[in-house]
Amino acid sequence: MSHWKSEEEARQQIKDLVTSYYHEFKENKRQFAPGDRINYASRVFDEKEMCALTDSMLDFWLTTGRFADAFEKDFAAWIGVKYAHLVNSGSSANLIAFSVLTAPELKERQIKRGDEVITVACGFPTTVTPILQYGAVPVFVDVNIPQYNIDVTQLEAVLSPKTKAVMIAHTLGNPFDLASVKAFCEKHSLWLIEDNCDALGSQYTIDGETRYTGTWGDIGTSSFYPPHHMTMGEGGCVYTDNPLLNRLILSYRDWGRDCICPSGHDNFCGHRFDGQYGELPKGYDHKYVYSHFGYNLKVTDMQAAVGCEQLKKFPTFIEKRRKNWQRLYDALQSIQDKIILPEPAENSKPSWFGFLITMRPGAGLSRNDVTRYIEDHNIQTRLLFSGNLIKHPCFDEIRNTSAYRVVGDLKNTEYIMNNTFWVGVYPGMNDEMIDYMIQSIIAALNK
């Protein structure tokens, strides 16, 4: 005979135990001491995420469910869009964002094989991978320093009759010149995909209107991988204000199906057995009609449950990142003769993912000399992702082919590949950790 009066009482008792477990075994009660490991990023959570995860586990729904629905609704309201849909990673979000632009429903604006998409080589590969895998042509443009974003002065020179879209990321939280890029896209009827995976919470102002990055273009994408601004472990999101793109996002995310019935619901539209689709027999079950070559990229409800609690904390995460970034910036101005400090884009308020540092010519030290010293002092460093993507082995089989196009000499991209690194500013860092990083960076540069 059970001693619980109800399932709710049982759940609460289990969650109370989880709360106690968190405070006993997971809560960080240790003070930082110089020399302790400082990672560039980490999860920031408490018992609330663990209890939400437990709640979803007890549901044992496993796939997308009530927590995913709640997150999508709350996230869309927070970031300021009509539609937001969870996927299993930021890379999948980029895959979906690009895939929907290849749909025949878009008519003359449909991206077809051989069409061109403007992007940059200095960034993360999964911004570019969907373009190449589909058979469209990425056109690589140089970036600027010290914003590390696309050089907008090259946009008109890059344009060709085959150009259909611009797909670029906001680098480490620093927005690219959205005013110029958006105006360029509108002038030439191009799609704009904002890879917002490293910039969630960044803001940008155009003509007096301030919005979050990811909401100025046609589609925005986010990642909830553990190092990112908030986490679900794995996970991502695709968002838009466009009703047609929203319908396509759902189709490509959910196997390419034509049906819009929510998971677990049959005959939501009332026309499951009376349609005519393609060359199928009339009345073929609409739940198994596929209008696109799609995927199953849904998130689990367990991941979404963590995200629901992370979203509540998110505004404080953003402010802590800004505070940590500014503390680094203020202190490192004393060594600007040896390094180039990052600068926020004009008309922006970044939600920083990291703090970029570039060695000046004639600094007397290489980037590797500096990062080796910093790493030896137990501080994690990272390069600016691919540096120059087209130099990587994945391009060996297509190098010097028509599979991609490069405009200009990518001079700054090359310089960044050889001279740039970054350290973290994640909200789990305190002033003592930031100050130890500052001391170590200055010591490395004054060796």
Q: Using CA atoms, how far apart are residues 109 and 119, in angstroms rounded to an integer?
A: 18
- CA-to-CA separations, 157 to 117, 140, 215, in angstroms, rounded: 14, 12, 26
Q: Which residues contact 242 (CB under 8 A, 6 or more apart)?
A: 218, 219
Residue 331 near residue 339 (C-beta atoms within 8 A): no
Cβ(350)–Cβ(204) under 8 Å?
Answer: no
Catalytic residue among 3, 85, 170, 228: 228
CA 146 → CA 172, 265, 343, 402, distances in Å? Answer: 12, 51, 6, 31
| Count of residues making up the chain | 447
Q: Give the Cα separation of 386 and 417 in Å (integer).
A: 8
| Closest CA relative to residue 49, chosen from 233, 320, 277 | 233
Structural tokens at position 358: 């570039």
The answer to whether 228 is a known catalytic residue is yes
Which residues belong to the active site? Answer: 228
